[in-house]
Structure 1
Amino acid sequence: MVFLSDREHKQKRVLITGADGFTGQHLSLALSEEGFTVVGVGGKHTENPSVIPCDLTNKNNTMEVVGKIRPEYVIHLAAVSFVGESDIESFYKVNLFGTINLLEALACCQPSPQKIIIASSANVYGNPRVDTIDESVCPAPVNHYANSKLAMEHMVRTWFDRLPIIIARPFNYTGPGQSERFLIPKIVGHFKRKEKKISLGNLDISRDFSDVQDVVESYKRLLISEIRSLTVNICSGNAIPLIEIIKIMNKISGYEIIVETDPEFVRLNEIKSLKGSNQLLKRLINFVPETSYEGILQRIYRY
């Protein structure tokens, strides 16, 4: 696979939406260190002074902000991503219509961006009856978050002939700084505080987790490649049962926590297992997430 040279991408403007979020902060730092001029936009009420406020659900505001930035590269991370979010409409307003507004604004830029990465989610696959999920598996979302992302994907593909777009489907990933609303930070947080017990939902689940640093590296390599009009998984290719995560944390922390099941945390449409294939990703960018699960958990625990 052909990559742009260092000279071709150094100092070029990359727009990161959702730059004030978990992934956005890690990505902004990594691309800045790589030599890009990073311009981050966040929600209309962002508290980060280095991030430009932009309400992607407002077409005029999006047109105005994007028109001023005129980015050469774009990574679109902004989304309502917490599956348990109770405001159902927000999934579609932000994830679908916000993306439509962004692409319409980018299409008006002169010159057009050299590459746009749209972050979708492996949740679009739902509960497929296969052990390992590659990009040929037909999506079958089981919640509004995933459904909004799949609707977004279908819409984005209508722009493939007009803009240089890659749709990325990251599987679960985590790292230092992620909110304890998410499973892994919640578990590690309990151990860091030496709590005696933890209440969880579905215990019979397995997930393909990656380190956020590996996901960021994948985004960076996709960004500077000549790939376009493609959908690709970002994953480690290995799924770990939830109970194994607890066992690793018992070892790291030096004590055993008591695990209880709380019915309030049990999701009726819970995806039982998500394990992805990263073979296409490896062929495209010669890189796949490889940080061990213990290494990921150690990094968060020591943060």
Structure 2
Amino acid sequence: MRRVLITGIKGFTGRYVAAELERHGWDVCGIGSHDEVGDGRYRRVDLLDSAGLRTVIAEVQPDAVVHLAAIAFVGHGDADAFYTVNLIGTRNLLAALAACAKTPECVLLASSANVYGNAIEGVLGEGVPPNPANDYAVSKLAMEYMARLWADKLPIVIARPFNYTGLGQSESFLLPKIVSHFRRGEEIMELGNLDVWRDFSDVRAVAEAYRRLLEACPAGATVNVCSGQTHSLREVVSMAEGICGRSIRVQVNPAFVRANEVKSLCGDPSRLRSIIGDWVTPSLEETLSWMLEQ
């Protein structure tokens, strides 16, 4: 069995990626920054602990790596954390992998479609010049540039996922917040700008895309992971109302309207499909139904 190391394995995405890889015959190990009792495949080590990372990687000797660990919530209050974790933490990981006696067959780094920013309308391909509009996006773009320094030592693939969601995602993200209001039977919900359009995928499909990218390993490639379709938050609320059979009153709270909000993000999945073959994500309505019916 090939062994894969997943950073952030206990996070929202990490759990789905671990399950996907296990189903397809991978020996899965993972690291994270929190204690976890009784899981022999898990090791606690912080990305900022260079020596600890080298020790764990020398012990695990992974055949492949999926790097998911990051500060991922755009509204996170500590700007410094974006750079220390997303940039310096990733550099420490790559340095540890390069120092290992066994070179991985593939290192998949999860970046973000937020690097495209807010300047260009239409469908965004990987060739669109980045224009990040917040610290999170800048930290991810900086990570991409930094990773190029290791391209001669490690087979690196960069994934740029657009928005995705699913069961178990934190309510600090918008779709789980909307779902939780419906599941609790609340009559009023406060949101920010309802006319923000996003390309939404299902976390289960994203996990599949990551697994297939890892197995194909187009080293040096940057690849969008996206559906190629957008929905506004207004449409999301309407879908949830249809699934639940009842309405909810939405109040726009100016405090929830972010400065430098990216108004529309729609990705072009052509490169992804050219690498891994046919790939589709469930419709947003199917994903919402799954989240609402649990």
Question: After TM superposition, is the score higher than 0.5?
Answer: yes
Q: TM-score, normalised by structure 2?
A: 0.97
The reply on whether 1:46 has 2:35 as its aligned counterpart is yes
Superposed CA offset, 1:35-61 (max 9, x none): 111001111x23464221110012111
Tell me which amino acid in the other structure corresponds to 1:260: Q
Aligned residue for 1:31?
21
Query: Which residue, out of 215, 219, 237, partners 2:228?
Result: 237
TM superposition shift of 1:29:
1.1
Aligned residue for 1:268?
259
Aligned residue for 1:8?
none
Where in structure 2 are there 5+ consecutive unaligned residues? none
Looking at structure 2, the residues matched to 48 and 247 of structure 1 have their Cα atoms a distance apart, in angstroms, of: 42
The reply on whether 1:186 has 2:177 as its aligned counterpart is yes
Looking at structure 2, the residues matched to 49 and 289 of structure 1 have their Cα atoms a distance apart, in angstroms, of: 36
Percent identity between the two aligned chains: 48
Conserved? CA contact 1:234–1:288, under 8 Å:
no
Conserved? CA contact 1:233–1:277, under 8 Å:
yes
Query: Which residue, out of 69, 74, 87, partners 1:96?
Result: 87
Conserved? CA contact 2:8–2:32, under 8 Å:
yes
TM superposition shift of 1:288:
3.0
Query: Which residue, out of 68, 74, 81, partners 1:83?
Result: 74
Aligned residue for 1:229, secondary structure, equals coil
Superposed CA offset, 1:34-89 (max 9, x none): 1111001111x234642211100121111111111111100000000011111111
Query: Which residue, out of 216, 221, 227, partners 2:207?
Result: 216
Where in structure 1 are there 5+ consecutive unaligned residues? 1-10
Aligned residue for 2:216, secondary structure, equals coil
TM superposition shift of 1:256:
0.5
Query: Which residue, out of 59, 67, 70, partners 2:61?
Result: 70
Aligned residue for 1:207?
198
Query: Which residue, out of 275, 281, 301, partners 2:292?
Result: 301
Conserved? CA contact 1:233–1:276, under 8 Å:
yes
Aligned residue for 1:169, secondary structure, equals strand
The reply on whether 1:126 has 2:117 as its aligned counterpart is yes
Looking at structure 1, the residues matched to 86 and 38 of structure 2 have their Cα atoms a distance apart, in angstroms, of: 24
Runs of 4+ in 1 over 3 A off after TM superposition: 46-49
Looking at structure 2, the residues matched to 141 and 226 of structure 1 have their Cα atoms a distance apart, in angstroms, of: 26
Q: TM-score, normalised by structure 1?
A: 0.94
Looking at structure 2, the residues matched to 97 and 171 of structure 1 have their Cα atoms a distance apart, in angstroms, of: 23
How large is the RMSD of aligned CA atoms in angstroms? Answer: 1.0
Aligned residue for 2:4?
14
Greater shift in the superposed pair: 159-168 or 74-83: 159-168
In the alignment of these two chains, the number of paired residues is 292
Query: Which residue, out of 174, 186, 198, partners 2:165?
Result: 174
Conserved? CA contact 2:5–2:64, under 8 Å:
yes
